[in-house]
Structure 1
Amino acid sequence: MDHTSPETSSFVLISSATPPGEEVAPQQLVEALGGENLSPDLRWSGAPEGTRSFAVTCYDPDAPTGSGFWHWVAWDIPAATTSLPLGVARDDASLLQARNDFGNPGYDGPEPPAGPPHRYQFSVHALPVPTLGVSADSPHIAARFAIFSQQLASASFTARYQVME
């Protein structure tokens, strides 16, 4: 399932903790897998003209749910922001974060079942509005609908993780 939007070649997203195409860094994994459950540092540049805020998502399209698994949905990140630090707190007041598919607010890292590798798609979405008008108490589908139906562009990278059988 592809959740991308119009992309501009100058709009890019990178992370020092989890380089694109590499394995998810151990510190991003859930504690049950020996991780620290910290969101990766993210940096972006080249957002399109008209960007008034950003949203960030992390999605596992390989989760055996029939619809993937959402690890992080955050929005209302001010347009002047070009990065998020390692380990964004669940109660960080500089953005709104929905409950993920684990049922927790904010980021929770990979915890796939044993078997084939899973892909984790980290994306930043440029939005033409300063706020989505969606409460953090709303189901993340409400925020995702607002993000994907309005975004000017997105920039993404994919990392992977596998639990061996």
Structure 2
Amino acid sequence: MDLYDFSAALPGGGSQSLADYRGKVVLIVNTASKCGFTPQYAELEQLYRDYKDRGFEVLAFPCNQFGAQEPGDAAEIANFCSLTYDVSFPVMAKIDVNGSDADPIFKYLKSEQSGILTSAIKWNFTKFLVDRDGKIVSRHAPTTKPLDLAKEIEALLG
């Protein structure tokens, strides 16, 4: 099993196969609209615009498990991302990243790249960087600014 075996739920219903991202470098992030780290959307969008033509994708997964900081429905989340940060990368349906209802994608990510003390996601804006072969190569804490990943992304893009 690898990342390409999963599909992500889309905000309007339906799903997006992660196999569609085969051959790309992907940054997967659990996001929230009302978090102290929310301004990272701007840097995520900058990375996406800087590298998308070289085969880079950002996939955002809104999550309301941390301080109820993503209370909105799909339309509210989409409006916020578009109007506030001009987000053009995919924002998936709101999910859980921890617990028994955790999305299978995040169960897999956590099994492949554990945190310091536990595999649990600690807060919004935890980032997983995936290489072109679908291998999860690194996990980054919410405090890691997206632009700090540029060198690692460039190396993976080749």
Q: Do they fold alike, i.e. is TM over 0.5?
A: no
Greater helix share, structure number: 2
Band of TM-score, shorter chain? under 0.3
TM-score by length of 1: 0.24
TM-score by length of 2: 0.25
Greater strand share, structure number: 1
